[in-house]
Amino acid sequence: MSWARTGGVVLLPLFVLLPTVSASQPGPSANERHTELVDPRDAGWFYRPERVDSEKPEELLNLLGIDEGDVVADIGAGGGFFSLRVAARVGPTGRVLAVDVQPEMVDGLEMMIEKFGHDNIVPILGRVDDPKLPADSVDHVLMVIAFHEFSHPVEMLGHIRRAMKPDAQMLVVEYKAENPDSRVAPLHEMTETEIMQALSALGFRRDAVIDIIPSQHVFVFKKTEAH
């Protein structure tokens, strides 16, 4: 079982012990695409010790400028690798809306909250077409290795866009499909073109490129004025 550190605290991914159950699914949609969710029994992979060095989560959060009192939505939060880190930054006056569509992931996150006492994290069991976020409530959205798993991207991004405040920013991180040395399965990678075309069509513009992780696309988006 893997261990990892966040903010000087050792994390034990207890959620990998939970049984696998099905995510909440909507009816068929013309916008549906083929995706594959992470098996919760493999969720400990996200807490592998080398991830802190190779994917630089603390440096990434520094560059986003998340402040005390901010409201941050962590989409595809899983067991809370980013949610726990963000919770320490936003403090007691801020909130982390930690969304996942798999009940066992939400259960695991709740165990982490109880263990480490981050009562400013709000676990949310979303649907694959709706993250269940309040409108006009969010300062930052994190979608770290999550966008490629959206089976209903049009519906999901529409709800996320409505939840973002006018000046909110959305972080999108995906493994580079262009990387010839990648060991990631093709279904879990995206090209820059795929990301840009999808988000531009859904009412977002790229505001920044963060070039600190060679294996990943790291983009910051904001809402366009009209969509």
Token digits of residue 183: 């060991």
Task: Report how far Cα 114 is from the mean position of its chain's Cα atoms.
Answer: 21
Task: Report how far Cα 99 is from the mean position of its chain's Cα atoms.
Answer: 8
Q: How many CB atoms are closer than 10 A to CB 32?
A: 18
Predicted pLDDT of residue 208: 98
Predicted pLDDT of residue 31: 54
| Residue of 104, 111, 83, 82 whose CA lies nearest to 13 | 111
Domains of the chain: 55-223 (3.40.50.150)
The DSSP result for the chain, as a single string, is ---EEETTEEE--GGGGSPP-PPP-----TT-----PPPGGGGGGGG-TTHHHHH-HHHHHHHHT--TT-EEEEET-TTTHHHHHHHHHH-TT-EEEEEES-HHHHHHHHHHHHHHT-TTEEEEE-BTTB--PPTT-EEEEEEES-GGG-SSHHHHHHHHHHHEEEEEEEEEEEEETT-TT--S-GGGEE-HHHHHHHHHHTTEEEEEE----TTEEEEEEEE-S--
- CA quadruple 106, 110, 115, 121: dihedral positive or negative? positive
Predicted pLDDT of residue 14: 44
How do the pLDDT tens digits run along the chain, 227 residues long? 232 334 443 344 444 444 333 444 554 444 555 555 555 555 555 656 776 667 889 999 999 999 999 999 999 998 899 999 999 999 999 999 999 999 998 998 998 898 888 999 999 999 999 999 999 999 999 999 999 999 999 999 999 999 999 999 999 999 999 988 888 878 889 999 999 999 999 999 999 999 999 999 999 999 998 66
* pTM: predicted TM-score of the whole model, two decimal places: 0.81
Task: Note whether 147 and 192 are within 8 A (CB).
Answer: no
- Residue 104 CA to residue 60 CA, distance in Å, equals 27
